[in-house]
Amino acid sequence: MFRWPKDTAGFNQFFYQAQYREAAVTELPDEVSLKVMKESIFRGTERDITDKIAILKRLVSGGRVMDYGCSWGYGTFQLVAAGYEAIGFEISQPRATFGRTRLGVEILSSEAVLDGLAGSFDAVYASHVLEHLPAPAAVFDRIASLLKPNGWLLGFVPNCGGDDARRLGVNWGPMCCGKHPLALDAEFLDRALTRHGFQVAAFSNPYNSDIIREMRESSRRVRNLRGEELMICARRITGQNHAAVSADSPSVSG
């Protein structure tokens, strides 16, 4: 579902320069706090993505990763510490500048620069970013263009097809709201990403690393989609029949 009226790309760009507020993402730490975060590699903080990096390691053990929608680079910093050649992309200039100068990570802010990076990433990591973007088709095209053949998209979004979303509807906090122009579920992401040349598997929290391994090997199709967060593991397939590994279609769960 789209929030109405739908956002334009221009408004989206404007909104994320100064108006967007989300404590764990947009509040920039002071010098003392940042020093502690860097020394601990963000372990135990609100910005700790250790669990998500463990999932990414199951898909791509190393290589080049784009942290798409990286805010001030705390995830990019952790990806680098985990051994990846990680680059961030963030349209908010103040947060991108903070990450470059205070964390020392590479963060790009220009779509034009991304044009020169086509086919150069082993994975794109996008954690709670896609629901903020007004034109998903263009973003899926962009992500597909950045990936090498057989590269992976690992994405996390609020699960708008989960139990809480179905029970509460628009009263569920992460549903379409001022910050989220999109409400996404597994069925939509499976269908849309397949059209953009991906093989898709989706499941929701709590996550099981054994299931992730089995999914990567295409030996199992995941059925749990009831949690609050939805995880999308999508592999870019080129020159093949893009038969999706769906988490919720009758052919899978029947």
- Backbone angles phi and psi of 244, in degrees to 5: -75, 145
CA–CA separation, 88 and 243 (whole Å): 30
Local structure of 26: helix, strand or coil: helix
Please report the pLDDT score of residue 248 as a whole number: 36
CA 247 to chain centre: 18
Task: Read off φ and ψ for residue 60, nearest 5 degrees.
Answer: -140, 110
- Structure confidence at residue 12 (pLDDT): 53
CA end-to-end span of the chain: 26
- CATH architecture type of domain 9-253: 3-Layer(aba) Sandwich (3.40)
Residue 24: name the closest of 95, 90, 82 by CA.
95
Residue position matching structure tokens 């509040």: 27
**Entry pTM:** 0.84
pLDDT of residue 203: 84
- Say how far apart CA 71 and CA 90 lie, in whole Å: 6
Domain positions in the chain are 9-253
Q: What is the pLDDT of residue 2?
A: 74
User: Which of 176, 11, 19, 155 is closest to 95 using CA atoms?
Assistant: 19
Q: Residue 140: its pLDDT value, please?
A: 95
Position 216 scores a pLDDT of 58
Give, for all 254 residues of the chain, the pLDDT tens digit.
877 666 666 655 545 455 445 545 557 899 999 999 999 999 999 999 999 999 999 899 999 999 999 999 999 999 999 999 999 999 888 899 999 999 999 999 988 999 999 999 999 999 999 998 878 899 999 999 999 999 999 999 999 999 999 999 988 888 877 677 888 999 999 999 999 999 998 888 887 656 666 555 654 454 578 999 999 999 999 754 444 333 333 222 22
Q: Which of 80, 51, 81 is CA-nearest to residue 64? A: 80
Quick one: pLDDT at residue 64? Answer: 98
Which pLDDT value is given to residue 132? Answer: 82
